[in-house]
A and B are shown apart, each in its own frame.
Chain A
């Protein structure tokens, strides 16, 4: 639909015209918004024509498609929509251009969103919108935001014990998939642990990490505030449970706000969001896993300058506000969070969202993230279903990640931090 619309603007033969292809989410309200913004951009830049190239909305399918195209050195689409964990992979592979030469206004974005898009000291993509892990809570049951994870457990137990209280204390995403990592990263930060340290060493089997994993396990088997079902759950199952009023707390992404504010929702007007709290132990801090989409330029693009123009336009404050209004996605620019218009657009107290984004933490910024994540998913799941003890599972994960780093030549790549990998042109 949108592609046809844009294609319609085509003029007979305009030799000076630059043609750009843009690929990104193009479904439903988001598709309408993107089509509208691309049209506005073309009005401002009559010499550039933008075509929309459809890609699957499923992240891993889109990833696979991109990788195949880029291996074949295809210059289309000129602009790629990257998931937050892909940027280092694409950068190290030489598939996207460093944006340094365009001097993007990096200081205007939340630092975590810039870190996530930086590889070997260079920025490779601009954050388009941010996703952050949030703690949803039933305000009618727990009016006060819990300050620590231990308070979450106490509140959950209390509400479960009240007559006709909810059946579950907390629900999260515990199936063996990427969602399990996003939840783990939040508990990990709450206890002051990390997966990789700044020099890229594996630290996921340190005591803080073991405590974090043990805490998640205790929610299942000890305090029993989380049902064992969560070990097979993704985002939607958790949302159903919370939306039906069966749980006091929920860990989920911002998208759930919209669905649950609907009048058919049993919890409409009775819930609030906040960042996941710290454990309260020394070194621990409130942590929200960073997700979201980035825009990058295909290294084989024939029109990188025009491509950057479009990226700059789409990530400008005005367009981010439109996005917040149309599809409730969070802007990545700091200044917008003191803008009244954003509060109106998101229809949710801005303070909580800002605090969540300020505590946003990227998952390990490394080109081998996908395989690292797979290793960790398996070991975390093994610990949570009690096939292994947390310490053993994390030791095993650390050993396998080390082997992965070795096998993929990551150490060499990381030691060349300053010498940027050659971009194949």
Chain B
């Protein structure tokens, strides 16, 4: 009896101690999320008070499902995410392997590689915009001089070419981060494995395929999780570079949502969009963790 009451006492003390933390989480995470869901079930147009704020059930979600611009935005987001992450992983792996070697000035190189990552996205986007913007811009001048282009072109008025600066800017900016994550993974690999392989006569390619990549898998998966979720929320880069154009052919879901919520002040519909994005990113994260067995922290395989 005594022990039970004592346990109860300890449990109560425990709850009391975590209560402030729980309250904070509730206030800044759960409450706004709940409110967003609640808003998404209403018609609420800040600009049109004459419509009132009636409860409309799932009408906003139905509108999303029927909106081709939303599906197109989803496709653009997926395209951007897949292409940029693939490139970042490939180049990042190459950089990580190079930086993992022992050479003079390694510390300096490792720091220098991080510079693009340290530049604020908006600033980086403006820089890339400047490079690609005008017909007399740097990109055009270089490509014409190198005889890759016959004459200057306007990059931002065709869908295919408008993606080039967007993807380039993202790859340029984020590859260092990917490289660093992979480098950390590389350093966890026991060097004696390579020595043993070398003794057995395995060449570098064999070592990469059968030692490095399998043992790097946890690091690669963690990188994938981070980058997929980031890629899915892409906003500032595209906002500055193309504004989602030409037309809406490079518009990602985050930009579309921003537009509905903050430009058109459609709180109900915009909230529904936010909930949908939340659900998608949450689903992706779950997929990675459950399906691919990514361990975020904790012991390594």
Q: Is residue A382 within 8 Å, beta carbon to beta carbon, of the partner chain?
A: yes
8 Å CB contact of B154 from A229, A381, A421: A229
- Residues of A within 8 Å of B263, CB to CB, are 60, 370, 374
0/1 interface trace, chain A 136-179, chain B, CB 8 Å (1 if under) = 00000000000000000000000000000000000000011100
| Interface hits, B244-287 → A, CB 8 Å | 244-249, 259, 262-265
- Residues of A within 8 Å of B243, CB to CB, are 175-177
Total interface residues on B, CB under 8 Å, equals 27
Cβ-defined contact, A94 with B49, below 8 A:
yes
User: Whole-angstrom distance between the alpha carbons of A371 and B263 in the complex?
Assistant: 9
8 Å CB contact of A229 from B45, B135, B245, B247: B135
Q: Is residue B158 within 8 Å, beta carbon to beta carbon, of the partner chain?
A: yes
Given contacts A227-B135, A371-B264, A387-B246, contact A92 B50 (CB under 8 A): yes
Q: Is residue A256 within 8 Å, beta carbon to beta carbon, of the partner chain?
A: no
Cβ-defined contact, B246 with A367, below 8 A:
no
User: Whole-angstrom distance between the alpha carbons of A77 and B264 in the complex?
Assistant: 23
Cβ-defined contact, A64 with B247, below 8 A:
no
Min CB gap B84→A, angstroms? 22
Q: Is residue B209 within 8 Å, beta carbon to beta carbon, of the partner chain?
A: no
Q: Is residue A71 within 8 Å, beta carbon to beta carbon, of the partner chain?
A: yes
A interface secondary structure, majority: helix
0/1 interface trace, chain A 218-262, chain B, CB 8 Å (1 if under) = 000000000111011000000000000000000000000000000
8 Å CB contact of A232 from B48, B49, B156, B247: B156
0/1 interface trace, chain B 156-171, chain A, CB 8 Å (1 if under) = 1111000000000000
Given contacts A93-B49, A94-B49, contact A374 B156 (CB under 8 A): no
Q: Is residue B51 within 8 Å, beta carbon to beta carbon, of the partner chain?
A: yes
Min CB gap A392→B, angstroms? 12
Q: Is residue B147 within 8 Å, beta carbon to beta carbon, of the partner chain?
A: no
0/1 interface trace, chain A 323-355, chain B, CB 8 Å (1 if under) = 000000000000000000000000000000000
- Residues of A within 8 Å of B156, CB to CB, are 231-232
Cβ-defined contact, B45 with A176, below 8 A:
no
Cβ-defined contact, B134 with A93, below 8 A:
no
Minimal Cβ-Cβ distance residue in B for A94: B49
- Residues of B within 8 Å of A414, CB to CB, are none
Q: Is residue B99 within 8 Å, beta carbon to beta carbon, of the partner chain?
A: no
0/1 interface trace, chain A 16-54, chain B, CB 8 Å (1 if under) = 000000000000000000000000000000000000000
Q: Is residue B133 within 8 Å, beta carbon to beta carbon, of the partner chain?
A: yes
Minimal Cβ-Cβ distance residue in B for A93: B49
Q: Is residue B47 within 8 Å, beta carbon to beta carbon, of the partner chain?
A: yes
- Residues of B within 8 Å of A232, CB to CB, are 133, 154, 156-157
Given contacts A176-B247, A229-B154, A381-B246, contact A93 B48 (CB under 8 A): yes
Cβ-defined contact, A228 with B245, below 8 A:
no
User: Whole-angstrom distance between the alpha carbons of A60 and B246 in the complex?
Assistant: 21
User: Whole-angstrom distance between the alpha carbons of A232 and B135 in the complex?
Assistant: 11
Q: Is residue A413 within 8 Å, beta carbon to beta carbon, of the partner chain?
A: yes
Instruction: Identify the interface centre among A60, A175, A177, A385: most chain B CB within 10 Å of its CB.
Output: A385
Cβ-defined contact, B47 with A385, below 8 A:
no
Min CB gap A163→B, angstroms? 21
Cβ-defined contact, B249 with A387, below 8 A:
yes
Q: Is residue A67 within 8 Å, beta carbon to beta carbon, of the partner chain?
A: yes
8 Å CB contact of B245 from A176, A371, A409, A413: A176
Cβ-defined contact, B50 with A231, below 8 A:
no
Minimal Cβ-Cβ distance residue in A for B52: A409
Interface residues of B (CB under 8 A from A): 45-51, 133-135, 154, 156-159, 243-249, 259, 262-265
Question: Nearest 9 CB-CB pairs, A to B?
Answer: A382-B247, A385-B246, A228-B154, A385-B157, A231-B157, A176-B245, A232-B156, A93-B49, A387-B247
Besides the known contacts A68-B46, A232-B154, A408-B51, 15 further A-B residue pairs in the complex with CB atoms under 8 A apart: A60-B263, A93-B50, A176-B243, A231-B246, A232-B133, A367-B48, A374-B264, A378-B247, A379-B247, A385-B245, A385-B247, A387-B159, A387-B246, A387-B249, A408-B48
